[in-house]
Structure 1
């Protein structure tokens, strides 16, 4: 583990005790990164907490010859996010890459979705991205002002649910859409400090997806290519977390199996200008005319 595109770099991965985060942490270490493995150790719905998952992955990295430390703090709190960055600096003397991945689900149809379930999911996903980014960027800004401009990378975890919507996941979809917007703003604001910020929208078999998408998440019985294995997503994450992706920032990538897609997001479609204020009827007539020549939106996941 002493050579690779992340040799000499220190990476932090949140939610790295299982699933995608674990795969990312192992892949980063395999490419030479020293890794801070963060995981609160909660159940799929966010209940409970245990240090075991983070420690187990850190131990696994070390058993493979890499360098890693565990961090079991809650990154959706000021204290947890600050200690996450501090752990990297204390253990390895630097921070180069932040991979935000922590999250859980509390799926309900919109009319059955309680306020607590909304707040909990938005908190862990959106706030759990914002606070680590803010603390990491504060460190990189200080480095830049001290004349040591870093080659820093942030990889955020969005979702197809945040790009297209997902039936029964209003809280999750809203949080993931917020993460995409956060990524775009962070990329624009932090470039001056040597930071590149990108996001992925992965599709893989994890604790969060195996129940919802059981029919499409099964391991191939014939032993063939497992398109839904979380390890398939990690190579892109490793590249985005390395110096090799110079010049790539403010981008969103879908990743599943062997497929990588650059998402192009919102862009202006058909437009009609008018020299004066329209009446409601005129506005409606114009809107219908524009919709008639506009591209149809992609369907919401789960919609019939």
Structure 2
């Protein structure tokens, strides 16, 4: 069945360039009305211009779609609240939010200014939280919503020189975990895309051959699926060059050290067993981890 977004209204942040632009164009091609949000800053978040967002709006209008531009800074809650209000007033509803806006200020942690750490966290983490908060009650009232976070391998697995970016990108996965649970009763599904694509964010990071093979067009289909009517919930989807993967945090089975014998030395002695990934399992929520620990302790005490 063809995935369509007729009658749906989407906000895409950072939609003036790169992945956000392609997300917005493809949503529009499939029937969505789209708010093109872009602060218009440079890759490190400085400056600001509406030109990029307006250009994408014009692209959408040329293909017969409907879109408006918005220059809100996602790190400013008042601005994104006004953006949501404008979208609701213009289109009557908000069905989809793609939190795509981002900046980079890469340096090794020893050389990183804490102002640069904060700036990156403000855009990626707080921007995602602010934008989601701005649309959350609208989605609850509709009993329908699709929210997409954007993470990165830097956050999921680590990458030298990106402590600020990696911390923020891992944090949005935690935000997804919470919101996917809270939104479930109102059919608000929250997922996360982990893209690797050739954009201005990666143009001087990835090798030329990889850049040529990993255009945003080969990542956006994953995003469209994650904000569609039949989207899953609480999924992290890796995407690059037409290849897709699923990412999960898992936990090994708890290893009980008997009462009276618990010590740092005992943990060291048992660490091979503790780190036995063949026993690993996924937890749907925090309660399942509590259950696993309590069950292991009860068995050991029996």
User: What TM-score, normalized by structure 1, do the two folds share?
Assistant: 0.87
SS at match of 1:243: coil
Inter-CA distance 83–217: structure 2 relative to 1 (3 Å threshold): farther
When you count helix as a share of all residues, which structure comes out higher?
2
Structure 1: state its 5+ residue gaps. 144-148, 220-226, 296-304
Partner of 1:120: 119
Partner of 1:104: 103
Greater RCO (CA < 8 Å, at least 6 residues apart): 1
Give matches, 1:42-191, under 5 Å. 42-141=41-140, 143=141, 149-191=142-184
Partner of 1:302: none
Residues 1:231 and 2:217 aligned together: yes
- Deviation readout 1:146-165 (Å, 9 max, x if unpaired): xxx43210011111111101
Q: Report how many aligned residue pairs link the two structures.
A: 276
**In the alignment, is the contact (CA less than 8 A) between 2:255 and 2:273 conserved in 1?**
no
- Deviation readout 1:101-153 (Å, 9 max, x if unpaired): 00010000111111011000011000010011111112223x1xxxxx43210
Q: CA deviation at 1:275?
A: 2.6
**In the alignment, is the contact (CA less than 8 A) between 1:46 and 1:105 conserved in 2?**
yes
Between 1:186-195 and 1:279-288, the stretch displaced more is 279-288
Give matches, 1:24-39, under 5 Å. 24-39=23-38
- The Cα RMSD (Å) is 1.5
Which of 244, 250, 274 is equivalent to 2:230?
A: 244
Which of 249, 265, 275 is equivalent to 2:258?
A: 275
Extract structure 1 runs of 4+ deviating beyond 6 A: none
- Distance, in Å, in 2 between the alignment partners of 1:279 and 1:22 is 54
Q: CA deviation at 1:215?
A: 3.9
- Distance, in Å, in 1 between the alignment partners of 2:26 and 2:162 is 30
Between 1:65-74 and 1:75-84, the stretch displaced more is 75-84
Structure 2: state its 5+ residue gaps. 279-302
SS at match of 1:271: coil
